[in-house]
Amino acid sequence: MITTPKHILLVEDNPDDEVLTLRGLRHGNIINEVIVAHDGQEALDYLFGSGGRPPLVPTVVLLDLKLPKVDGLEVLRRIRTDERTKTLPVVILTSSMHDQDVVEGYKLGCNSYVRKPVDFDQFIEAARQLQLYWLVLNEIPPTLTS
């Protein structure tokens, strides 16, 4: 496995949300590379490699649920069933506050479930905290970094 620098994989199909999320993440003043996948399939291709490109492992995945092609929960299931990404931190970042989605997300092994607030100030705060927590404070298993 190729060692990659610390970076975030953002899986987001809504361009508005993509822009706002990236803006929110930048506001956190913790500069890290953010890779954006625009649907579930793209996210899986990135994680497991495709067309000769080797698989890449981000530090954390920010995963929306409502996605074209392969939806967020399916992406999560695939991440958790693959030995290489089994311990990869996945944060669900979504508009849905559906109880069922929360339950299902945790059942499939998400590490966090964050609801995107409408209030952008709150959103910036959430993004900042996520970055701080997952990229600075949180220790990840050695297999993912080596």
Partner 1 sequence: MALVLLAVLPALGIIYLFAASEKRIHTELVQKDALGLAEATATLLGQEVEGIRQVLLALATLPELSGDDFTACNRLLSNLLPQYPQYDNFGLVRADGVHVASAMPFPPGQSAADRSWFKQVVTTHDMAAGEYQIGRLTKKQSINFGYPLYSADGKLNRVLYVALDLLWLTSKLNMKNLPEGAVLTVFDRNGTVLARSSDPAQWIGRSFPDTPLVQHVQTVAHGTAEIQGLDGVWRIYAFSEAGGVTRAFHVAVGIPREVAVAHVKTRLQVDLTVLFCVLMLALAAAWIGGRAFVVLPVKELIQATDQLAAGDLGARVRMRKHGSELTRLGLAFNMMAESLQKQIAEREQAEEGLRKLSAELEQRVRERTMQLEAANKELEAFSYSVSHDLRAPLRAVDGFSHALLQDHEKQLNAEGQDYLKRIRSAAKRMGQLIDDMLTLSRISRAPLRKEPVDLSAMARSIVKALQESDPQRQVDVQVADLLHTAADPNLVRIALENLLGNAWKFTARTTQARIEFGQDADPQPSSPALFFIRDNGAGFDMAYADKLFGAFQRLHRQDEFPGTGIGLATVARIIHRHGGAIRAEGAVGRGATFFFSLEPSPHFMTDRRTLSEREQP
Residue 39 makes contact with partner 1 by CB under 8 A: no
Residue 22 makes contact with partner 1 by CB under 8 A: no
Among 118, 137, 139, 142, binds partner 1 (CB under 8 A): 118
Of 2-10, 49-57, 74-82, 88-96, the segment contacting partner 1 by CB under 8 A is 88-96
**Total site size for partner 1, rule CB under 8 A:** 21
Residue 96 makes contact with partner 1 by CB under 8 A: yes
Cβ neighbour number for residue 123 with a 10 Å cutoff: 21
Find, among 71, 61, 67, the residue nearest to 36 by Cα. Answer: 61
d(CA 83, CA 7): 20
Integer angstrom CA distances of residue 3 from 42, 69, 134: 20, 29, 18
Of 43-51, 81-89, 114-122, 128-136, the segment contacting partner 1 by CB under 8 A is 114-122
Residue 117 makes contact with partner 1 by CB under 8 A: yes
Q: Which residues contact 14 (CB under 8 A, 6 or more apart)?
A: 64
